[in-house]
Structure 1
Amino acid sequence: MHESRPIIALDFPAFTDVKKFLALFPAEEKLYVKIGMELYYAVGPEIVRYVKELGHSVFLDLKLHDIPNTVKSAMKVLADLGVDMTNVHAAGGVEMMKAARVGLGMGPKLIAVTQLTSTSQVQMQTDQNIPTSLTESVVHYASRAAEAGLDGVVCSAHEVENIKAATSQNFICLTPGIRPSGSLADDQKRVMTPAAARQIGSDYIVVGRPITQSEDPFVAYQKICKEWQG
């Protein structure tokens, strides 16, 4: 399931920023980008249509979490937008995840968020009242997502091995919080380099600031591609 392109997180506040950023890449360079809440809520569905028209792949990172019927209806809308991948919160439960799969259909990839990469074990135990270890919680959610017919999960690279063991080698592990060697961790508590993520078995990686805030994003992207592809 290894996706050779690192997914670029388009964490920009406005449409104009995205247009400027994407214009820095050669037209023939087809990217895989992540559109998150900030951008989607600021611009709306038009941002997905624009990026798709340029020929790029889109991971729409909205983390749906609601009653099954609402999630199913929302997923139908996202499927019509032509997203390549989107996600839900595994905490919504198996029935909700199954409804999401039905709404989205079998074309796009559907993955689940287990525990956010910004969450530490202490925070999880205190805020969510989950007494197990962080890894046990993540693996449990991943198993439920697999049971519901999802394609994979968003997880820390440190959890990939355990998740694959509990599900299957084909179960997607998408890893955010990736930083090329020698850069700052910023607000992510669990981070890893592209090369280490590859070695540990991640299928997709998401990279944001090291590319989007670089002086030359295309050069930074190529460097990360090289590290990721080995």
Structure 2
Amino acid sequence: MSSSNGEREFRINIAIDGPAGAGKSTVARMVASKLSYVYVDTGAMYRAVTWDMLNQGIEAEDVTGVLERMKAIDIELVPGEDGQRVTLSGYDVTDEIRSLAVNRTVSRYAQIEGLRAELSAAQRQMALRKGVVMDGRDIGTTVLPDAEVKIFMTATVEERARRRFRELPESGEVITLQQLEREIAERDELDRSREVSPLMCADDASVLDTTNMTINEVADEIVRLADREIARLGK
């Protein structure tokens, strides 16, 4: 049984990594809520940058242009009544960054070393006070290698595609489930093979195959692991 929030005086950081569509963001939000921690959606930060670059017409191959544009970008993760909102230089882009265009190109921008270094530094700053749940592709290996609890969430490509398919807005570009499967498989390969901070499971991470698990089951398992570590470190 999990301890109550009042008993969790010793605060830790939780890193949740995994491929696209594994359900990291949804689970991370739930875990943060259950523990009364702060949720940091690093994927939303990369998506916001990608959305801005696409709007500015700056290709991922134009590394100099991307890094120059980064100087004008201010990303904030703001708690809202219906979950975390993402603002870019004061403009709410929460819905826009979930578009198919962003989905298809975010990995290309995420490969840029200078961009990753800048966002990773901002993410580490957010975690200094502890009590943070952070999800992404390289949190446990690069951003927060000292996180007390590390989780690597995965699921089959087919299941991840189904999850993404259910999340798609009714209006907008039409895409089939089979197309999504192909795009997710391609993104997996891009994320694993990039030179800078590739997607990989940290040696000390707990691996959770969520293919046949509900979101609540996954969140409860992570809270259980967190409570166990809190109890061990708080002795």
TM-score range, shorter chain: 0.3 to 0.5
| Higher RCO (CA 8 Å, separation ≥ 6 residues) | 2
Q: TM-score, structure 2 length as denominator?
A: 0.33
